[in-house]
A and B are shown apart, each in its own frame.
Chain A
Amino acid sequence: MNRRPVFLISCLCFGFAFFYIPILSLIVFSFNKSRLATVWGGFSTQWYAKLLDNDQVIKAAVLSLQIAVTTATFATVLGTMAGIALARFQRFRGRAGLSGLVTAPLVMPEVITGISLLMLFIYMAEWIGWPGSRGFTTITIAHITFSMTYVAVIVQSRLTSMDLSLEEAAMDLGARPWRVLVDVTLPVIAPALLSGWLLAFTISLDDVVITSFTSGPGSTTLPIYIWSKVKLGVTPDINALATVIILTVGIGVALAAYIMHRAEARRERDVQMALSQDTP
């Protein structure tokens, strides 16, 4: 087909304009001099300067990062375990139950997850005296619970597509099942584990609804801080904060993608070079 798909190309242009115009507009207005966030009053970087002075924002960002790193690490461990159990252990009692428990949080509306966890924490405090107050621990537990299921799905699908003979080969060469997992399976799926970690990290960093139910006074994460501000309307300092966050994440993701692309290209070159030397 040599005809250029004009219709599809214009849909793409429209679609990407739709994706990026709101974000660009937000970035532009973060440099607005005016206090009125939506009316242009000249160029200024004053809101960024104010951001640096805002202790609340800095504290919230630090807490968010702490929670996100802890969450991502625990979620990767637990999610990987669940993914391995579902993909590799064909018959065990309660397999259907585990598979249901892994998929259910994915489709559970966040409000319900949030409320139910809050009730659990309240009743646990009543019955066993823990958690005494809600904060870092309760938020992290909540985040681990729903982000581990994303990791489990990623790991499970990676394991399903993995060449089983790699594991058989290791076993054939004398490795017990547990060693096979450590020596072969985990290193081979390492990229999936990394993307699972990153996904859990961003999900945790981004979460508002579940955090709003499981956090307590004095434990304000960055999204909760933003949430409490934006409920009151659009303000230029939030524009500046949003710009910082979006650019940080955007550049980070783009950089990661570029590095992965480069590695992939190098690998492809290696393979091409290797294949060309096949002479008996």
Chain B
Amino acid sequence: MGRERGALARWFDDRGWRQLVIGVPYLWLILFFLLPFIIVLAMSFARRADLSPPIAFLEYWPYLRWDNFERLISDTLYVRAFATSLWNAAIATLLCILIGYPMALGITRVSKSWRNLLLMLVILPFWTSFLLRVYAWMGLLGTNSWLNKSLTAMVNAVLPAEHALRSIPMMNSNFAVVLVMVYSYLPFMILPLYANLEKLDNTLNEAATDLGSKPWQVFKDVTLPLSIPGIVAGALLVFIPASGELIIPSLVGNAADPMIGRVISDEFSSARDWPMASAVAVALLLVLVVPMMIHSHFEKRAQERAEGRT
């Protein structure tokens, strides 16, 4: 190594590489994530106008209008959209827990080679196109599909002939939205739950059994309490994207009862009311801050526990 290295090389070797490693991604995220977000935030205090871009701020101090937020509360369209979104997301999350938990637990109970195969089968849909998985359900829920026809036949077998159905109206409903959300987000529930359950010490179960607990009691007293962090992680991974979902309600949802993601998109593209779209977006973020804080709280606790152990 020569002494006469250039000043730039020396700077890079000493401090520069560190500053670059921190600075480059930092700048990128400030420019393409923080700055756009600040624009949205500012715009939510503007008004729609026939300008280019189609917005106008208040001309005098404090330059901010609260009109959009007032409309957000007074106009039932927005309130209903929020309620529908959060309700659908909550039901989908609950169903994901109910279906995902036994599946995750089941995967921990099979032999090791089976375990890898089943995990692969959970992850596989996650890698394939989200859009196409939603699309697959469009083919199943429609009135002419084999699934709809067989379900109709089953229902008709029970119903008296005069009430016989021609088909079951499943497409374009909240039911369809929740169903497809569960389908799309189930891997997000199973994977963190599995990671959590897999780490549980099996000797704990054996100890509880040895002390006289029945399998159900072992589950209730040992497994379930210890898997709560996994449930919370999975629930947030489902709930947060589900509440802002755009594709699923657009393809299988009920246009008369839109979810919030669709409202934002429509305000922006169809109504060209950028300020209102921004205000709805800001409000959605404020609503989502609560579950996010729960998440970071649990995360911090888990981290503290992990650090305490070493």
> Does B6 have its Cβ within 8 Å of any Cβ on chain A?
no
Given contacts A26-B139, A202-B127, A253-B127, contact A111 B132 (CB under 8 A): no
Closest chain B residue to A98 by CB distance?
B26
A1-34 vs B: 1/0 string, CB under 8 Å?
A: 1010101110110111011111101100100000
| Residues from chain B with Cβ under 8 Å of A84 in the complex | 21
Give B95 Cβ to nearest chain A Cβ, in Å: 11
Q: How far is the CA of A92 from the CA of B22 in the complex (A)?
A: 9
| Residues from chain A with Cβ under 8 Å of B65 in the complex | none
| Residues from chain A with Cβ under 8 Å of B145 in the complex | 38
Closest chain B residue to A24 by CB distance?
B136
Q: Is the CB of A85 within 8 A of B22?
A: yes
Q: Is the CB of B21 within 8 A of A122?
A: no
> Does B288 have its Cβ within 8 Å of any Cβ on chain A?
yes
Q: Is the CB of A112 within 8 A of B144?
A: no
Interface size class of B (residues with CB under 8 A): 35 or more
> Does B66 have its Cβ within 8 Å of any Cβ on chain A?
no
Of A49-57, A165-173, A244-252, A270-278, the stretch lying at the interface with chain B is A244-252
Q: How far is the CA of A14 from the CA of B99 in the complex (A)?
A: 9
B19-60 vs A: 1/0 string, CB under 8 Å?
A: 011101110111011111101100100000000010000000
Q: Is the CB of B30 within 8 A of A101?
A: yes
| Residues from chain B with Cβ under 8 Å of A249 in the complex | 127-129
Can you give 23 A-B contacts (C-beta < 8 A)?
A: A22-B136, A23-B128, A25-B147, A38-B144, A85-B25, A94-B26, A98-B22, A98-B25, A101-B29, A102-B29, A107-B292, A116-B39, A119-B36, A141-B32, A145-B33, A177-B17, A223-B129, A234-B139, A234-B142, A245-B129, A246-B132, A250-B128, A253-B120
Q: Is the CB of A82 within 8 A of B25?
A: yes
Q: How far is the CA of A61 from the CA of B37 in the complex (A)?
A: 31
Of B69-77, B100-108, B153-161, the stretch lying at the interface with chain A is B100-108
Name B129's contact: one of A8, A144, A206 (CB within 8 Å): A206
Give B76 Cβ to nearest chain A Cβ, in Å: 21
Name A181's contact: one of B17, B43, B99, B295 (CB within 8 Å): B17
Residues of B98-135 contacting chain A, CB below 8 A: 99-100, 102-103, 105-107, 109, 116, 118, 120-125, 127-133, 135
Q: Is the CB of B22 within 8 A of A89?
A: yes
> Does B217 have its Cβ within 8 Å of any Cβ on chain A?
no
Q: Is the CB of A112 within 8 A of B140?
A: no
Number of residues of chain A lying within 8 A (CB) of chain B: 89
Q: Is the CB of B21 within 8 A of A112?
A: no
Report A's interface with B, CB cutoff 8 A. 1, 3, 5, 7-9, 11-12, 14-16, 18-23, 25-26, 29, 36-40, 78-79, 81-82, 84-85, 89, 92, 94, 97-98, 101-102, 104-105, 107-113, 115-117, 119-120, 122-123, 126, 141-142, 144-145, 148-149, 152, 176-178, 181, 202, 205-206, 208-209, 223, 226-227, 230-231, 233-234, 238-239, 242, 245-246, 249-250, 253-254, 257, 261
Name B247's contact: one of A18, A152, A208 (CB within 8 Å): A208
Give B131 Cβ to nearest chain A Cβ, in Å: 5
| Residues from chain A with Cβ under 8 Å of B144 in the complex | 36, 38-39
Give B211 Cβ to nearest chain A Cβ, in Å: 14
| Residues from chain A with Cβ under 8 Å of B125 in the complex | 19-20, 23
Q: Is the CB of A18 within 8 A of B26?
A: no
Closest chain A residue to B130 by CB distance?
A206
Given contacts A22-B137, A107-B292, contact A253 B121 (CB under 8 A): no
> Does B177 have its Cβ within 8 Å of any Cβ on chain A?
no
Extra contacts, 20 of them, besides A23-B125, A81-B21, A107-B240 (Cβ < 8 A), are A12-B103, A14-B99, A25-B140, A78-B25, A84-B21, A89-B21, A89-B22, A109-B288, A111-B265, A116-B281, A117-B32, A119-B40, A120-B36, A152-B25, A208-B130, A238-B135, A242-B132, A245-B132, A246-B132, A249-B128
Given contacts A18-B183, A26-B135, contact A112 B22 (CB under 8 A): no
Q: Is the CB of B139 within 8 A of A25?
A: yes
Q: Is the CB of B244 within 8 A of A226?
A: no
Name A226's contact: one of B131, B250, B295 (CB within 8 Å): B131
| Residues from chain B with Cβ under 8 Å of A120 in the complex | 32, 35-36, 39
| Residues from chain B with Cβ under 8 Å of A3 in the complex | 215
Given contacts A22-B137, A119-B274, contact A111 B246 (CB under 8 A): yes
| Residue in B12, B22, B121, B130 with the greatest tally of chain A CB atoms within 10 Å | B22
Given contacts A11-B103, A25-B146, contact A209 B39 (CB under 8 A): no
Name A261's contact: one of B25, B32, B116, B140 (CB within 8 Å): B116
Name A116's contact: one of B40, B122, B209, B251 (CB within 8 Å): B40
Q: Is the CB of B109 within 8 A of A5?
A: yes
Given contacts A9-B106, A115-B40, A115-B281, contact A107 B129 (CB under 8 A): no
| Residues from chain B with Cβ under 8 Å of A149 in the complex | 29
Name A119's contact: one of B39, B128, B147 (CB within 8 Å): B39
Q: Is the CB of A110 within 8 A of B246?
A: yes
Q: Is the CB of A110 within 8 A of B244?
A: yes
Give B175 Cβ to nearest chain A Cβ, in Å: 15
